[in-house]
Chains A and B, each alone.
Chain A
Amino acid sequence: MNKKVKTDSPDVFIEEIEKIQEAIPKRIDANPQNVEKGLAKLVLTLVELIRKLLEKQAMRRVDGGSLTDEEIEKVGETLMKLENKMKELKEVFGLKDEELNINLGPLGDLM
């Protein structure tokens, strides 16, 4: 079966592929003992999605030059607080960034 894979640089590929594999979102554990953590993961994933969307929106508006200094200040403060709060909550529930993703089957991953 070794003949099936050809590469001059197996080391680099092994490293990168393993990195990606570890980032595959695992199923949400609905086990009764872990319900809390499962729910936290779900909620935080959704909050993270919203945060990312808000951030993207802000970037587009900065790019387009359509924000006043006051608006930049406000958006910056909101996003900064949101990101810090997310960091806190992730720590509290022992969740890593890669875990805050949901696999939607044929639709791929949420983020």
Chain B
Amino acid sequence: MKIYAYGVIDSNCRIEDSSKGIEGGRIYNIPYRDIGIAVSDLDGRYQKNINPDHVLEHERVAEKLMESFAVLPMRFFTIFKDKEEILSMMSEYYDSFNENLNRLRGKLEFGLKVIWSGDVIKKRIAENNAGKGQSKLLSNGSPARNYIMEKFEKYKMNRQFEKEGHRDISAIDEFFSGFAVEKKLDTLKSDKLLLTASYLVEKAKQDDFKQAFERLKKSGPDGLKYLFSGPWPPYNFINLTKPEFKKA
């Protein structure tokens, strides 16, 4: 028998609804002081192979908890040996959990991904640079010199590419800045994936936020494709301090 954990919650009371979790286990709360952790038991029927259904179940439980509590959702597949280990862990992380619960209470996470024609833009920049007569540096060189100059052409191209990318990213971020209390921006992860953003939004402001996305679709920079998701439990906004680091 092992225990599967879904999320830390700001309550030490029983969980009233009869939700089932992974492998049909009943969700219940293990309290610790004034907080708790929502879990379910894994019995012998637990399958050997993890599959997407488990992932969906995990997320469904986290979202259900979000309806009644402030939740710090666990990473998928966090399994404890027994209740004692859970309580020991709660004791270690109590301060950090408390700080996060208080900070994230009443807030939702929204996601935005933006695709641009990065491959086309790179080509255009490279062609522009070549047109400026830089290529004559390559014709009279040794292999070592040519190697450096090729690298340098690429370096200049990437620098220009990033400059244009960040210009669009700033323009996009402008649409949301007024409505988010926190944000995380992951930029230019691939040529086409211009931006992966997570925004932390107060529940009361979520409609305003969704409207900002509609405005972005209408008036954002040209040639962009958008993916908008949420609301989610605040996966991207959890700052855990590992207890040992506090000892000075």
Chain B residues, Cβ within 8 Å of A27: none
Given contacts A13-B113, A59-B151, contact A20 B227 (CB under 8 A): no
A1 touches B147 (CB 8 A): no
Distance between Cα atoms of A47 and B193 in the complex (Å):
28
Cross-interface CB contact of B148 among A1, A9, A13, A75, cutoff 8 Å = A75
B143 within 8 A of A: yes
Question: Is B229 touching A62 in the complex (CB atoms < 8 A)?
Answer: no
Residues of B within 8 A of A72 (CB): 144-145, 148
CB closest chain-B residue, reference A7: B227
Q: Which of A16, A75, A80 has the most CB of B within 10 A?
A: A16
**What's the Cα separation between A6 and B230 when bound, in Å?**
9
What's the least CB distance linking B120 to chain A, in Å? 13
Q: Does B155 contact A (CB under 8 A)?
A: yes
**Contact A1 to B227, CB < 8 A, known contacts A13-B113, A20-B193:** no
Which residues of chain B in 219-246 are interfacial with respect to chain A, using CB atoms and an 8 Å cutoff? Answer: 225-232, 240
Taken together as a complex, chains A and B put the C-alpha atoms of A89 and B22 apart, in Å, by 44
Taking a contact as CB atoms under 8 Å apart, the answer to whether A80 and B147 are in contact is yes
For A7, what are the chain B residues with a Cβ–Cβ distance below 8 Å?
Answer: 113, 225-228
* CA A13 to CA B147, docked complex, whole Å: 35
* Chain B residues within 8 Å of chain A by Cβ, number: 29
Q: How far is the CA of A80 from the CA of B145 in the complex (A)?
A: 10
User: Which B residues lie within 8 Å of A5 (CB)?
Assistant: 227-229
Question: Are A77 and B144 in contact, with the CB atoms below 8 A?
Answer: yes
Q: Does A12 contact B (CB under 8 A)?
A: yes
Query: Does residue B47 face the partner (Cβ distance < 8 Å to A)?
Result: no
Chain B residue nearest to A9 (CB atoms) is: B225
Q: Are B192 and A80 in contact (CB under 8 A)?
A: no
Min C-beta distance of A32 to chain B, whole Å: 23
Interface string of A18-61 (1 = CB under 8 A from B): 01100000000000000000000000000000000001001100
Chain A residues near B193 (CB, 8 Å)? 16-17, 20
Q: Does A79 contact B (CB under 8 A)?
A: yes
- Contacting residues of chain B (144-201) with chain A, CB-CB under 8 angstroms: 144-148, 151-152, 155-156, 189-190, 192-193
B102 within 8 A of A: no
Verify if B59 is at the interface (C-beta below 8 Å from A).
yes
Of B144, B190, B226, the contact of A8 (CB 8 Å cutoff): B226
- For residue B148, which residues in chain A have a CB less than 8 angstroms away from its CB? 58, 62, 72, 75-76, 79
Cβ of B144 and Cβ of A73 under 8 Å apart?
Answer: yes
Does any Cβ of A come within 8 Å of B56's Cβ?
A: yes
Q: How far is the CA of A7 from the CA of B190 in the complex (A)?
A: 19
Nearest residue in A to B146 (C-beta to C-beta)? Answer: A76
Give me 17 other A-B pairs in contact (C-beta within 8 A), A17-B113, A73-B144 excluded.
A4-B231, A5-B227, A6-B229, A7-B226, A7-B227, A8-B226, A9-B115, A16-B115, A17-B193, A19-B190, A63-B152, A72-B148, A73-B145, A76-B142, A76-B146, A79-B147, A80-B144
List 9 tightest A-B contacts by C-beta distance, closest first.
A76-B144, A7-B227, A76-B148, A77-B144, A59-B155, A5-B229, A9-B225, A16-B193, A80-B147
Show 19 residue pairs from A and B whose CB-CB distance is below 8 angstroms, ordered by the A residue: A1-B59, A4-B231, A7-B227, A9-B225, A13-B113, A13-B115, A13-B227, A16-B115, A16-B190, A16-B193, A20-B190, A63-B155, A72-B148, A73-B142, A76-B146, A77-B144, A79-B148, A80-B143, A80-B147
